[in-house]
Chains A and B, each alone.
Chain A
Amino acid sequence: MAHTTEVVATQTLNNGQISFCIRCCGNPSTDHWHTMAATVAGDPEKRKASVNEQHDFCANQHALMQKAVADSVLEIGTEAMRKEHP
């Protein structure tokens, strides 16, 4: 399944850092804030690279979360999820 991430909010922190909120598939539960030092945020190339890395992280995490939910539903009540304690 394809995922789409986007920056939905920004914050300028009082210690000179700037933070972007990255959201996957329009789902607020995936919100991932990425905070950068001014030396990173102030350089367009560094900023782009830094944020892109977290776009990938956020999408990957959402994918893993969805797979975990799907797998857990299938496993509940199965032999694999049962354990004897003699």
Chain B
Amino acid sequence: MPNPIQPRTAPVLKDFEALGIKPRSAAWYWLQDAIQRLDKTLTNKGEVQAQANITGRTDPLSTTTGNLDATGKLSSTDAIAADGTGSPLTGGKRGFVALDTNNRLANSFRNNPANVSNTPTSSTTLSNDGVSTSIPIAASTNQFPAGAVSYNSGSVDPGAFTTSYVYADDPTFAGGALTYTFSASPQNQTAAEGRIPFGKIITAGGAAKTGGGNTGGTTPGGGGGRGYNE
């Protein structure tokens, strides 16, 4: 609110002049300066004005203290400033949400899928009829420690009868429709943080084959998922 002292600076100085303070004297200038400083920083209740700022800063005190509560604590961890690229304080709540009281991940869904054990609930998920080179991927569910995630069906077509490692990226364990992809290189199954392997299948012309799931079907070592016994 406007300080009611401001309009009275000149009349106040006139009163001091009447008491013997000489105009433009050192005392007169000190009084003028003191009145103007008080006018800018204090309200008529003696409170510091919200728009006043601390020396060396341009932000008003209302901004400087805006994120503090009545006890002087930060009102939210979102008010912690970032201090450079990769700052751990950016979005301060992320750490608090992800960790439990033992400073461990609250659950494995807080981890990256590439690191999380999971078991397909179906015995096989990949198939090939030996006539077409397409590999249908049946709709399936993978059991993770934090819960089951269901995935839509899909398919891949390598264009030839060959060994194919099938995988898809689901970085947030969302489930649903995934874009499955395939590779002849096993290492691509772990080439991304959000990657979930759906197994291997070795296809051959003239013979129906299966793979993936929790058994691998006709493909030795062809199971999907990670970290369980087939």
Contact = CB atoms under 8 A, between A and B. Distances in A.
B159 A35 contact: no
A29 B175 CA distance: 11
B176 interface: yes
Contact of A54 (B139, B155, B159): B155
Nearest to A46: B159
B161 interface: no
Contacts, number: 77
A9 to B, nearest CB: 9
B159 A37 contact: yes
A33 B134 contact: no
B180 interface: yes
B158 interface: yes
B156 A36 contact: yes
Interface residues on A, range: 20 to 34
Interface in A11-47: 11, 13, 15, 17, 19, 21, 28-37, 39-40, 46
Contact of A57 (B155, B158, B178, B188): B155
Nearest to A23: B177
Nearest to B168: A33
Contacts of A54: 134, 136, 155
A61 interface: yes
Contacts of A50: 132-134, 157
Contacts of B154: 32-35
A32 B179 CA distance: 8
Contact of B136 (A13, A15, A30, A57): A57
Contacts of B157: 34-37, 40, 50
B100 to A, nearest CB: 34
A34 B179 CA distance: 7
Interface of B: 132-134, 136, 139, 152-160, 176-183, 188
Given A17-B181, A35-B155, 16 more contacts: A32-B153, A32-B154, A33-B152, A33-B177, A33-B180, A34-B157, A35-B156, A35-B157, A36-B157, A37-B160, A40-B159, A46-B159, A50-B133, A54-B134, A57-B153, A57-B155
| Nearest 7 pairs of A and B residues by beta carbon | A31-B177, A40-B159, A39-B159, A37-B159, A33-B179, A36-B157, A33-B154
19 contacts: A15-B181, A15-B183, A19-B179, A21-B177, A32-B152, A32-B177, A33-B155, A34-B155, A35-B154, A36-B156, A36-B159, A40-B157, A40-B158, A46-B159, A49-B132, A50-B134, A50-B157, A54-B134, A61-B139
Interface of A: 11, 13, 15, 17, 19, 21, 28-37, 39-40, 46, 49-50, 53-54, 57-58, 61
